[in-house]
Amino acid sequence: MLNIDLHCHSDASDGMLPPAELVTRAAACGVDVLALTDHDEVAGLPAARAAAEAVGLTLIAGVEISVSWGGQTIHVVGLRIDPLHAELAAGLEAIRLGRMERARRIGDDLARAGIPGAFAGAYACAANKQMVGRTHFARWLVAQGHATDLRSAFRRFLTRGNPGYVPHEWTTLENAVGWIRASGGIAVIAHPGRYAFDTRTTHLLLDAFRTLGGEGIEVVTGSHHPSEYGKWADLARAFGLKASRGTDFHAPGEGVEPGRVPALPHYCRPVWQGWPEIDAHLSLSLA
């Protein structure tokens, strides 16, 4: 059985490890096939690919795109994308520019709440100066003693109703799925259990996503409680979507390690079914 982890972050977005270290750590954790899925960014992929070749891990080119849908932010993972595809690259660059404006507004809002210097602090925390996210603010807030850990930083700041929350318009679901597909990739809804949609709206989302050409949803993710796996596996089947598995690893000591979530329920149709990389990995390990 291959250990396939199709969702994780490097310091090209809000992870803590440089791409090569992430790949080495994943290999040490027993991961055979890893997708690097940085937020709105593909800059980590070349270094990750070089490291993967060195340790005999199969790397899948991925991305996690920020989308506004139904009045909320949702995330769409692209797998087996072409990071050099012009339309995808331009779309991601536009999202990162919007992120930067949002980061300044987050800093302004925290300053109004009596916490000055947050933008500069978060910016300094970000290895990739084009990708400043709320996690960088949260890490800075913890380092400054405004919160005890990342979780409480998000509970007290940066989230709706709290200082440092600014509404933001990301790209559309149509754009995200369109760019991923145009580049030859497969679109997957990330951690669907994290969104606060009622049942009817969840069904509308899955239906709209499928109609746009989306192909999968994450069933087993570090963001789902094991008691939720069955529900999402059933919904995937009901909506004709495939199932994905990923840890959403960000950093050592922050949640689950690469590869360390359960296997997909046996009746799921895995999103990686028929991928040439999987067959190639299997024949390599047999040789």
Residues that bind ligand AMP (CB under 6 A): 14, 39, 66, 133-135, 150-151, 154, 250
Euclidean distance between CA atoms 153 and 107, whole angstroms: 14
- In the complex with ligand AMP, the residue whose CB is nearer, 126 or 271, is 126
109 is a site residue for Mn ion (CB under 5 A) = no
Single residue of 38, 40, 215, 248 touching Mn ion by CB under 5 A: 248
Hey, what are 12's tokens?
């090209």
Q: Could you say which of ligand AMP, Mn ion, none residue 154 binds, taking C-beta under 5 to 8 angstroms by partner kind?
A: ligand AMP
Within 1-20, the residues that bind Mn ion by CB under 5 A are: 14
- In the complex with ligand AMP, the residue whose CB is nearer, 115 or 268, is 115
Within 139-178, the residues that bind Mn ion by CB under 5 A are: none
All residues at 6 or more sequence positions from 2 whose CB lies less than 8 Å from its CB, including other chains: 32, 33, 278, 281, 282
Q: Could you say which of Mn ion, ligand AMP, none residue 190 binds, taking C-beta under 5 to 8 angstroms by partner kind?
A: Mn ion
Q: Residue 92 CB, nearest distance to ligand AMP (Å)?
A: 13
Residue 152 identity: S
Site string for Mn ion, 74-93 (x = CB under 5 A): -x------------------
- In the complex with ligand AMP, the residue whose CB is nearer, 88 or 268, is 88
Using CA atoms, how far residue 184 sits from 15, 45, 62, 176, 188, in Å, is: 26, 16, 11, 13, 13
Site string for Mn ion, 49-68 (x = CB under 5 A): ---------------x----
Euclidean distance between CA atoms 234 and 31, whole angstroms: 26
- In the complex with Mn ion, the residue whose CB is nearer, 36 or 264, is 36
Pairing, β 242-246 against β 216-221: parallel
Q: Residue 194 CB, nearest distance to Mn ion (Å)?
A: 7
| Residues 67 and 75 sit within 8 Å (Cβ to Cβ) | yes
- In the complex with Mn ion, the residue whose CB is nearer, 67 or 88, is 67
Compute how many residues bind Mn ion; rule: CB under 5 A.
Answer: 5
Q: Residue 154 CB, nearest distance to ligand AMP (Å)?
A: 4
40 is a site residue for Mn ion (CB under 5 A) = no
Hey, what are 232's tokens?
């999402």
245 is a site residue for Mn ion (CB under 5 A) = no
261 is a site residue for Mn ion (CB under 5 A) = no
Q: Could you say which of ligand AMP, Mn ion, none residue 11 binds, taking C-beta under 5 to 8 angstroms by partner kind?
A: none
Q: Residue 222 CB, nearest distance to Mn ion (Å)?
A: 9
Q: SS3 for 100?
A: helix
Residues forming contacts to Mn ion in the complex (CB under 5 A) are 14, 64, 75, 190, 248
